[in-house]
A and B are shown apart, each in its own frame.
Chain A
Amino acid sequence: MPVRVVETTSPSHSSGQDLSSAQPSPPSCSLLCAGRSFCGTQNVSSLQKDEAWKVNVRIQGCDIEHGFLCGTMEALNVPLADTPVVTFWEGEIVDAKNHTFFTGKWEATPEDDIRHWSKFPSFTPLLSQIEDDGGKSLDLSNYPYIFMRWKEQYFVNVGADCGLTIAGFYYVCFSCTDGSISGFYYDPNSSPFQKLELKCMNAKPGGFSFSSYELV
């Protein structure tokens, strides 16, 4: 996916800090920006046992205009691993322009899509408008939730033979109000509806802080 960058001769725009306010905006939120951290759990329970991994997520880059973001996911207390396992993921923001609610790949059918999106209460008001075309004509710019798909691309600190899989992807719902995230992992070969629940973290004791970079 293209990353929005600036030419050196033009005024600066930062990842996660969009100076443009003239055009109708894609869905965006200042809590969903490069540098932001989230922590919580992923329920990896199966029929055999209940299990949850602690998870930390950090957003590394965010290009709202192209509906793209990326980051890392760190899973702690993974039984098969001696250390926390870190993966790099790329995300698609459902904005009706770059991406719709229909995945169209990763072995997810429209039925799978609707089944998973419907697990989010915030999706229910939108259902009737997306059944035909995935929501191409929806205006989500003022909706207080941002829907995304996150797909892990590679392991950062362990080998691909670590016994873990990153074949699936997450359906994700982000709350613009408080930055909380819930998600469901989809992989036809894994336990269904493994739930991801994250809260926005503050690196500082007294509130939210922001960091930024600018690619040229």
Chain B
Amino acid sequence: MPATAAVAPPPTAPEQLAARLSSGDSDESLLPTLREIKNQIIGNRTKKLLYLRLRAVPKIVALLSSSSSPSPVIIQAAAAVGSFACGVEEGVRAVLDAGAVPHLTVLLSHPDAKVVDSAARSLRIIFQSKLAPKYDFLLEENKTFLLSLLNSTNENITELAASIVAHSCEKPTEQTSLCDAGVVQKLVSLLGGSSNQRDTSLDAISAIVKNNPEVATKFVSISNGKAFNSLMGLMQDRYPRTRLLACVCLISIEQAFPVYFQEMQIKTKLILILLDLIEEAGRVGDEAPFVLKGLIGESEELHRQALSVTAAERLCGYLRKGKAVLEARRLEGILLVLAELGSKLEQSRAQLIELQVPSLIIDLLKHDCAQVRVAACHVIKNISRSLKHLCAGRFGSESIVMPLVQLLCDSSTSVQTAALDAICNVAVNLTTKKSVLLQSGGVSILCQLARSMHSEVRLKSVRALRNLMFLLDRKDKDLILTELTVSTLTILISDPDPLVQEQALALAGNFVDGSGVSTKFIFSEDISIIDAVSRQLKGECSPGMCIQGMFFLANMAAENESQKDAVMDCILPTSLDLSISHPNSFLVTFLQSKERLLRLSTLWCLINLVNPDQRNSFRVSALQGAGIISQLKTMVNDPCLDCKLRVRMVLERCLENRE
């Protein structure tokens, strides 16, 4: 006869369950409550947060330390604590605030093995979080305790010990201390254990050897190189996560002890394995490109090697196949590797351009995830370092410039600054075509950003304007300065940030380069660019600023009589200088500088001032009076050939003038 099917009871409301925890009981009557809470929260962020609001965590943690709690209750309570801490930052915080770690640590010595297991698993979950406390390995008792955990026959406990090392070991003193205590050997022995033991051990070894040549050297010597060979073997493990962690570990050793890795073979293998791992599902595939970026780093040799094993083609292939569906993290990683490949070598940039990378990634400039947009900007910035392709106008098209201009108004500051960097390079328009930036409204936005409260944004936007101004037509230069305003430029020349000042001076120099400079921009009644430059040059400024300031004056002095006179007024000592016994021009100091370019830029200014024309004799006398000619005579054998030739040019012109 058919019978009515048994119906599972509806889940108890969290409020009721939380209330039961407050009953004050700690006996087995709480077991069903704890089990149900645990089952409700596993993999359920919403429920975890709800129970956190109901303040369930302190009550559950209290059960861990209650002497009257029977083992089954402790086991469930520990499991629930671990689950709260798994993948939810607020959960980790709540668990830590409730003091779970010391209680769980005590339970590692419990006579009931199941209690020990449960406590160990929960602690391992907690120590996977960045919020977990750092374990102080320099305390002898802590080190002893750690070693006792590593010596345990309980797999959960040894994994916990490795997790603690992976999470907490940072300083060289800690690394050395653990190494001297034999922790590395213990971890190496775990490489032959279960998959979890191997993975946590790999993590821990990476933490101990990272950036520590001494420890890395000791590692590779363990058992005459057998430990190292084990790592090499794990690169081919059947589990993707283990392969990834083995790569991370080997890279840590390579970076700490590069001599051991002189053969390219191992590095090539690492590159190939990481390229394969990018195709893996889940976190392994998401993290693999970041590991690859860390490997090839800033090494031209590794960039070349990566190119030779078709890394660029494969990465582009991943983008072509699945950029619409790839996780943001993975996309970001792939883009950062491409950016890294384009950062140094012209051959890499050429290859990336041939693979149509700019077109491939344009739509990623509009991706929802800010980090992806940033990474896409980095790719364009690095590839556009190619002068050859800048000259060919490869980066000046609307399809590249317009999305970048739009990113200048992005809600994320990091995206804005990344876009500014990319625009800075593409603004260098070396073609004869008019720059798209001039037509796109980009100039307006750059000028606004040049007034930003953030010095980094000001710096990058002024640099972009400077680059845009390079060799531009007079008409377009005037348009830019009209948009920026003379007032803003003079303010930028006196910016609190010296780097901004330097870029503003270079921008001014580019503006006055070329013929037909309108005096309305240089000399106005209230604000004068030349006065602003003069103030900077006479104050305390960096060599970089002085160089740009002198090139500005040199360019001014190349224009006409009135501008030469203005430059003379700027460089000659004022009555104030004379009254405080500074009879010489500041140019004398510049000519005495150890900075070759500062001497050179000053010399060019002088060459232009004594360029043969009407008022030359007056200028030569004035320069003589300011101590400049005397200084020049001491420089006829300047160690820099360029300077020596310019000194002779000035003196010859002065002599011609006298004759």
Residues of A within 8 A of B (CB): 1-3, 5, 8, 11-12, 14, 17-19, 21, 25, 28-30, 34-35, 60-61, 70, 72, 86, 88, 90, 141-144, 153-154, 156-157, 176-177, 202-216
**Residues of chain B with a CB closer than 8 A to A21's CB:** 594-597, 640
Cβ contact of B554, chosen from A8, A205, A208, cutoff 8 A: A208
Q: How far is the CB of A142 from chain B (nearest CB, A)?
A: 5
Q: Are A205 and B560 closer than 8 Å at their CB atoms?
A: yes
Distance A208 CA – B503 CA, assembled complex (angstroms): 21
Residues 448 to 470 of chain B near chain A (Cβ within 8 Å): 460, 463, 466-467, 469-470
**Residues of chain A with a CB closer than 8 A to B392's CB:** 88, 154, 156
**Residues of chain A with a CB closer than 8 A to B390's CB:** 60-61
B8 near A: Cβ within 8 Å? no
Q: Are A60 and B430 closer than 8 Å at their CB atoms?
A: yes
Q: Are A18 and B597 closer than 8 Å at their CB atoms?
A: yes
Distance A204 CA – B613 CA, assembled complex (angstroms): 14
A-B pairs with CB below 8 Å: how many?
167
**Residues of chain B with a CB closer than 8 A to A212's CB:** 466, 470, 506, 509-510, 551
Q: How far is the CB of B359 from chain A (nearest CB, A)?
A: 20
> Which bucket holds chain B's interface residue count?
35 or more
Residues 305 to 354 of chain B near chain A (Cβ within 8 Å): 344-346
- A21-B596, A86-B432, A156-B431 are contacts. A60–B391 as well, Cβ < 8 Å? yes
Q: How far is the CB of B437 from chain A (nearest CB, A)?
A: 13
Q: How far is the CB of A143 from chain B (nearest CB, A)?
A: 8
Q: Are B515 and A216 closer than 8 Å at their CB atoms?
A: no
Q: Are B608 and A2 closer than 8 Å at their CB atoms?
A: no
**Residues of chain A with a CB closer than 8 A to B502's CB:** 12
Cβ contact of A88, chosen from B346, B388, B544, cutoff 8 A: B388
Cβ contact of A206, chosen from B463, B471, B558, B645, cutoff 8 A: B558
Q: Are B346 and A1 closer than 8 Å at their CB atoms?
A: yes
User: What 1/0 flags go to B522-563 for Cβ under 8 Å of A?
Assistant: 000000000000000000000110010001001101111101
**Residues of chain B with a CB closer than 8 A to A176's CB:** 641-642, 645
Q: How far is the CB of B99 from chain A (nearest CB, A)?
A: 42
The chain A residue with its CB closest to the CB of B430 is A60
B421 near A: Cβ within 8 Å? yes
SS class, residues of chain A in contact with chain B: loop
Q: How far is the CB of B378 from chain A (nearest CB, A)?
A: 10
B123 near A: Cβ within 8 Å? no
Q: Are B558 and A12 closer than 8 Å at their CB atoms?
A: no
Pairs of residues from A and B, 6 with the lowest C-beta to C-beta distance, nearest first: A207-B608, A207-B558, A61-B387, A204-B558, A211-B513, A21-B596
**Residues of chain A with a CB closer than 8 A to B249's CB:** none
Distance A25 CA – B600 CA, assembled complex (angstroms): 15
**Residues of chain B with a CB closer than 8 A to A2's CB:** 300, 344-346
**Residues of chain B with a CB closer than 8 A to A156's CB:** 391-392, 431-432
**Residues of chain A with a CB closer than 8 A to B595's CB:** 19, 21
B48 near A: Cβ within 8 Å? no
Distance A5 CA – B467 CA, assembled complex (angstroms): 14
**Residues of chain B with a CB closer than 8 A to A208's CB:** 554, 558, 604, 607-608
Cβ contact of B613, chosen from A29, A86, A157, A206, cutoff 8 A: A206
**Residues of chain A with a CB closer than 8 A to B384's CB:** 215
**Residues of chain A with a CB closer than 8 A to B557's CB:** 206-207
**Residues of chain A with a CB closer than 8 A to B564's CB:** 206
The chain B residue with its CB closest to the CB of A8 is B421
Q: Are A17 and B421 closer than 8 Å at their CB atoms?
A: no
B381 near A: Cβ within 8 Å? yes
- A209-B514, A215-B425, A216-B463 are contacts. A30–B388 as well, Cβ < 8 Å? no
**Residues of chain A with a CB closer than 8 A to B346's CB:** 1-3
